[in-house]
Amino acid sequence: MLCICVCVYRPVLAKAIHSLSRIGDELYVEPQDDGLALRSVNSSRSAYACFLFAPLFFSRYTIPSGHAFRCKMAIKSVQAVFRSLASLEKTVEKCHIGLDEKKNRLTFTLHCKHGLLKTHNLSFQDSESLQAVFDKDSYGNVFRSHPRLLVDTVVHFPPSLEEVTVSVSDERMWVRNHVEEEDRSKSMLTELCLASDEFDHFAVTTQNSVTFCLKELRGMLVFAESTGLPVSMYFDEPGSPLVLSVTDSVLEGNFVLATLSDDSNHRKNNSRREQTPPPPPNDDFMDDDMDSYLIAMDTSIAPGPSATRPPTPPLAVSTYSKQPAAANHRSRLIAEEQEEEEEEEAELADSAGPPNKKFCSLFFGSVLPPSSQTSTQPVTNQEVLASDSEDDEQ
Amino acid sequence: MKFRGKIIDVACLNHFTRVVTTISKLTKICVLRLTPDNLFFVLSGKVANGGVSMWCELSQANFFDEYQMEGVSSEDNEICLEVTPENLSRALKTVQNAKAVKLKLTKKHCPCLTIAAELPTLSSISRVVTHDVPVDVIPRRLWHEFKEPSMPDFDVSIYLPPLKTMKNVVDRMKNLSNFLVMEANLNGEMNLKIETDLVSVTTHFKDLGNPPWGDDASQDGGPSQSRDPEDMAQARVDIRKLQQFLMGQQVNPSKAMCSKSPTAARPGALQAK
């Protein structure tokens, strides 16, 4: 059975492939009724991307009827076809993609100027379906902006940074780097605050924070910025995935990132979480009080490190040192929270392994979660996200 | 202990960032001394065995629009902090287009130097980015280690050729040998020499000019008047250390001076202004 897609070459095709290559090593191709789906997932299954090119993207789109077909191949081979974006743009006029199921071959034929034809034959393997199930429209927090806003935000964080935490309130979004408890005294903490009117759309139903891996986000932003399309961000509770979406009339790109499951908060009473909402924004940047920046040389009531609550503004520091009596109540509550959080963190920290192990299994039920998480992982996560796995799974 | 400074001018911010970046290339950790008039970045390495020590003095008025500090006590009106300059450099580099940048000493989870910048945006509310760089406060009893080094007695002091040129030469020489001999005289001539079993290479620089130390009454050392201007003073240095100094230079000094002292045990000093 042959499957043929022909389109006038558009750079977005090559950009999508390069973007997918930043996620995983393999490209999953699935011609569907609603378009050609190109997908990729990372090895720890904590990041997934899918580009759906609608039939209208192509001048000809023929797929076998009634027969679901999917394959996967090394993404490096496909990247080699679309290696130099600049020269592709100058020379390629038409792109012909052919899938031959019998010969297990995917053929890219680039029709270039002056009658030149470049044909690339790639072989593929059959694969199970790769589909993360998520319903972004049901998520409480939705934002949309020009990609430049997000690019300007991530530039403040070093390229080597693993994880960021995004917290939202009704009017603000805070982005800061996530640092493990042990590293706190050595690492630099960076925090950026964005106002709601910098976004085209800013809707918050639950004020919470999610933590996810920055590296995969960057790949997506490169794509979005080069196409100039607005980026939509959807997220909900910590633990349920964060979705970034880029759409135009013929293309839909979704990047789904796992977020850190906030186990300690799930275990405790919900009401306690509400006692530490994100702090009011500090708009008086220029006129802050000198006394707020006091550093006491002698011992004073030093606020303990906080694991999940958003950082206190400078004014709160003076509260701690100047009014110990009043602050005791609050700090005691927080201390209790932290004790439990620290216990929880210690538990997780014991399971030595790659840093993104905590993000595992938030997507696909087929992957075994690390043992330390099995007992604390809320069941709801696994219910919502399930893999459409085939029989032939290793 | 309090410290709070604000930089508004773009050129000042840029210059300050470049100084901090230069320092971050020289050392991983250094000491930041804050006094009412100046900031000092100090590295007191072990100088005897070819280690590197560094002293950088910045007049706060040249950079800050607002600068307020209160030291440890009124007699010791200074603050000494141990910082990782790379963190400062990274934080400053990302806020070059800010409307205003504030540096403050704060106590978050630990003592921190907080860099807070207000970034221009299209909306009415500015974007605020905060970087908290953890620092260690250095107790008073250790302050004596970070005093201004006295200029060692030297034989020859000479202005260096353009550092870029020198860097190119030193980079090539590094492939051939680990040590390099620098020699200079009071006639404005300087040579860089390496010598191995197989090859010896010398690069000659002429007409460099010698700084007039005679005018500085406060200086301890000074070239002895009876010195023959043609007489070369030699110093053998580790090429990698020299290369480190040259690589870090982002500040485009108007003058770079090299002063050589007679014995190998005494340090030579490279100064950039």
The string of pLDDT tens digits covering residues A139-155 is 888 999 999 888 888 88
Q: Phi/psi at A182 (nearest 5 deg)?
A: -65, -35
Q: A245: helix, coil or strand?
A: strand
Biggest CA–CA distance in chain A, Å, is 83
- List the domain boundaries for chain B: 2-145, 156-218+227-260
Residue B144 in contact with partner chain A when CB distance is under 8 A: no
pLDDT score of A254: 92
Structure tokens at B203: 């690069």
Q: Which one, of B132, B133, B128, lies nearest residue B118 by Cα? A: B128
Q: Which residues pair with A163 in a beta bridge?
A: A213
pLDDT in tens, A319-351: 223 333 333 333 333 333 334 344 333 333 333
Testing the interface with B: which of A161, A167, A186, A192 to mutate, by most B Cβ within 10 A? Answer: A192
Range in A382-386, B66-70, B130-134 the model is least confident about: A382-386
Residues 214-243, chain B: which have Cβ within 8 Å of A?
A: none
The ipTM, to two decimals, is 0.72
Q: Which helix (H) or strand (E) holds A278?
A: none
Q: How far apart are CA A219 and CA B166, in angstroms?
A: 40
Q: Which CATH class is domain B2-145?
A: alpha beta
Q: Considering only residues B38 and A336, tell me which one the structure prediction assigns the higher pLDDT.
A: B38
Give contacts of A286 with chain B, Cβ < 8 Å. Answer: 100, 118
Answer whether A309's CB lies under 8 Å from A279's CB: no
The count of other CB atoms within 10 Å of the CB of residue A167 is 23
Answer whether A192's CB lies under 8 Å from A175's CB: yes
Q: Phi/psi at A29 (nearest 5 deg)?
A: -115, 130
Residue B1 in contact with partner chain A when CB distance is under 8 A: yes
Q: Which residues pair with B34 in a beta bridge?
A: B39, B79
Residue A185, min C-alpha distance to chain B (Å) = 6
pLDDT score of A361: 38
Percent of chain A past pLDDT 70, that is, above it, reads 65
Q: Considering only residues B32 and B271, tell me which one the structure prediction assigns the higher pLDDT.
A: B32
CATH of domain A136-393: 3.10.150.10
Q: How far apart are CA A172 and CA A175, in angstroms?
A: 10
pLDDT in tens, B137-159: 888 888 877 777 766 667 777 78
Question: Would you tell me which CATH number, out of the four given (3.30.450.20, 1.10.1030.10, 3.40.50.2300, 3.70.10.10), belongs to the domain A4-126?
Answer: 3.70.10.10
Answer whether B237's CB lies under 8 Å from B50's CB: yes
pLDDT in tens, A262-305: 654 333 333 333 333 344 444 444 444 433 333 333 333 333 33
Q: What is the DSSP letter of B149?
A: P
pLDDT at B242 over 50: yes
Q: What is the DSSP letter of B89?
A: H
With respect to CATH, is domain B156-218+227-260 assigned 3.20.20.70?
A: no
State the first-to-last Cα distance of chain B, in angstroms, to the nearest integer.
Answer: 30
Structure tokens at A336: 């209790």
